[in-house]
Amino acid sequence: MQTFGSKPCSCPSFKLREVASMYFTMIAVFLVILVVALQGSAPRGSDFPYKVPLDPQGLLELSWNVSYPEQAVNFQLLIRDLQFGLLFGMSDRGEFENADLAVLWSDGSNSYFGDAWSDAKGQLHMDSQQDYQLLGARRAPEGLYLLFRRAFSTCDPKDYLIEDGTVHLIYGILEKPVHSLQAINISAIHGGLQRVQLLKPNITIPELPSDTKTMEITAPDVVIPSQETTYWCYMVELPKGFPKHHIIMYEPVITEGNEALVHHMEVFQCAAEFDSFPSYNGPCDSKMKPDRLNYCRHVLAAWAMGAQAFYYPEEAGVAFGGQGSSRYLRLEIHYHNPLVFKGRRDSSGIRLYYTATLRHHDAGIMELGLVYTPVMAIPPGEDAFVLTGYCTDKCTQKALPAAGIRIFASQLHTHLAGRKVVTVLSRDGRERQVVNSDSHYSPHFQEIRMLKEVVAVFPGDELITTCTYNTQDRSQATVGGFGILEEMCVNYVHYYPQTQLELCKSTMDLGYLHRYFNLVNRFNDEEVCMCPQVSVPEQFSSVPWNTFNRDVLKSLYGFAPISMHCNKSSAIRFPGDWEKQPLPTITERLQEPVPHCPPAPGPQPAAPIPLNLGQLRRD
């Protein structure tokens, strides 16, 4: 009997232990060289185009840039008043538990930098794979700059995946010397969160032409009502004979101190068929509000909490003024005043930048998602309940030009229970492209976002908008509607050339909801009043929310026919049969993108990197 095996080793003088020892020494040498090498390639300060203060006092200031070819973000963190270090990181919704952290800590003499993570109890651990790569640290008169880099995806399950959309950044300041990472007590730390879109699109801001003018559409020193939700309406008139212009940019004007109260603002243009509109300055739901104001629904500009200035692409601008265009505008401001402040005065609004040099296309805004109706509801106690609104092939067939439209920006909108929003373009039953997606959506950060890629939509395409809600803190069903505690699922898409289609949204057929309430009555032996004469919200509030009633509602929303709102303005439908329409069928879903993992040399050892920062102060 003869033994065959692998070829014998050509260097038999090595023993296993010796080789292992050399192996680890080599890795260590390799890594030190790597850090030094990377420091040489660290980007300079001017290379960080995006900047945001992390804390309200501005002690921590984050700048960053995005390298799409390398699939990585380079951070520059300015620490104005370094004490004994800080935590910086990312987590699902800004919580300090289950967070992915870069930590700088000092025991007073020695300082260290490391990639760490916090568990569900907030305890810190050194990460077995070090993915916040330190590029350098430098002292400047204004403070200490830390430069580090992070790949979008690290393939380490403990790490946060940096995706398009909102990222909840967290920070914490170490005010006492720390002897080890594990000794940091996260609950005792002064810290907070800041929401940003880290992966900004690679788009250059178009230059404004020299004939650009500005106009402010602002509230006239309004006293904000001392109630939680107010929609304030204020009518504005353009000068007589004001010719057609293109709005090419706009930005919010917020009265100082009211930043937390102004929830969203829109400027609507009134219908051209009326020669004049009455002036008005008061709540939109007041009985005193003239009925004619209901004909002021064409969106000119929209801003919501967290958004910045908005620039139109060079090919397009929003038309206003001129023939066939009303001189009357309605400013609508949603004041959200949960602490019921009294007597707060406000002159917020929107500043329009416009030009008489018309661009090639008129731009428009279209509303996708769900109709504002209590038919679409979310049971209480759900951690991720999904509702979907459809813009059907039949509607785009009717309303879009043969050459299609180009969507270039999108603003996602829900009320307080919204956690994720995504719109997908589907053609012939196959999902083709994500229009806009935010997996860490926050109703407190509703920017209008330029799309990374312009989306072409043709007649017959479908636009499917899906919202995910969390109602774990609620004891009653949350129904669709206008109130801040009711819900919406909307994507305002900005596109050109403008069409008549202003609203392409859906809701479940009401008849199926009645059958559902009937079923709840039959399957639940409890005595609940599901009398058909009471309102839908009242019926929802009577449902005993057991697993069966939840599952059936969920299933029904994915099955029942829909009523389409394929509207020219929110009151006028395109001609056609829009009731009891079949749900669009999807035969092929978009693949989840496969995370792109960092290339070799592979994981670095789980050891902190010492930094020479000198003696740190001890208060």
Q: Should residue 9 be labelled a site residue for its own copies when binding is judged by CB under 8 A? A: yes
Helix (H) or strand (E) holding 540: helix 536-542
**Whose Cβ is closer to its own copies: residue 262's or residue 613's?**
613
Determine which one of 168, 245, 246, 413 is catalytic. Answer: 413
| Identified binder of its own copies from the candidate list 272, 456, 519, 528, rule CB under 8 A | 519
- Binding range to its own copies, per CB under 8 A, among 2-10, 186-194, 304-312, 474-482: 2-10
46: how many CB neighbours lie within 10 A of its CB? 7
| 612 sits near its own copies (criterion: CB under 8 A) | yes
Cβ atoms of 380 and 469 closer than 8 Å = no
Q: Least distance (Å) from its own copies to the CB of residue 126?
A: 17
| Rounded Cα distance, 444 and 418, in Å | 10
Helix, strand or coil for residue 20?
helix
The smaller minimum CB distance to its own copies, of residues 17 and 287, is found at: 17
Using CB under 8 A as the binding rule, whether residue 513 contacts its own copies is answered as: no
548-577 binders of its own copies (CB under 8 A): 548, 551-552, 554-556, 558-560
Minimum Å gap between C-beta 57 and its own copies is 25
**Tokens 């006239």 correspond to what residue?**
220
CA distance 570 to 493: 15
Rounded to 5°, angle at Cα 284 from 282 and 287: 85
Which one-letter amino acid corresponds to residue 299?
A: V
> And the tokens for 251?
């930005």
List all residues 6 or more positions away from 608 whose beta carbon is below 8 Å from its beta carbon: 112, 113, 114, 126, 181
156 or 332, CB closer to its own copies? 156
List beta partners, residue 468.
386, 420
Query: Using an 8 Å Cβ cutoff, are 304 and 365 in contact?
Result: no
- Span of 27-35, 274-282, 365-373, 449-457 interacting with its own copies by CB under 8 A: 27-35
328 is annotated as an active-site residue: no
Q: Which member of 125, 231, 512, 514 is catalytic?
A: 231
Q: How far apart are CA 566 and CA 301, in angstroms?
A: 21
Q: Which residues contact 500 (CB under 8 A, 6 or more apart)?
A: 399, 568, 574
Nearest to 128 by CA among 458, 607, 503: 607
- Using CB under 8 A as the binding rule, whether residue 30 contacts its own copies is answered as yes
DSSP code per residue over 84-127: SEEEEEEESSS-STT-EEEEEEESSS-EEEEEEEE-TT--EEE-
Q: Is 231 a catalytic residue?
A: yes
Crossing angle of the two packed helices 547-557 and 510-523, in degrees rounded to 10: 160
If the CB atoms of residues 68 and 548 are measured against its own copies, the closer one turns out to be 548
Residue choice 428, 601, 615, 618 for contact with its own copies (CB under 8 A): 601
Residues 96-155 that bind its own copies (CB under 8 A): 134, 136-140
Q: Is 599 in the site for its own copies (CB under 8 A)?
A: no
Determine which residue in the list 121, 240, 342, 522 makes contact with its own copies, applying CB under 8 A: 522
Task: Please tell me whether residue 499 adopts helix, strand or coil conformation.
Answer: coil
By CB under 8 A, is residue 530 in contact with its own copies? no
2 binds its own copies (CB under 8 A): yes
Residue 611 interacting with its own copies (CB under 8 A) = yes
Q: Please report, as residue ranges, which positions from 33 to 52 form the binding site for its own copies (by CB under 8 A).
A: 33-37, 39
Site residues, its own copies (CB under 8 A): 1-9, 11, 14, 16, 19-20, 22-23, 26-27, 29-30, 32-37, 39, 134, 136-140, 512, 515, 518-519, 522-523, 546-548, 551-552, 554-556, 558-560, 601, 609-613
- Residues with catalytic function: 231, 413
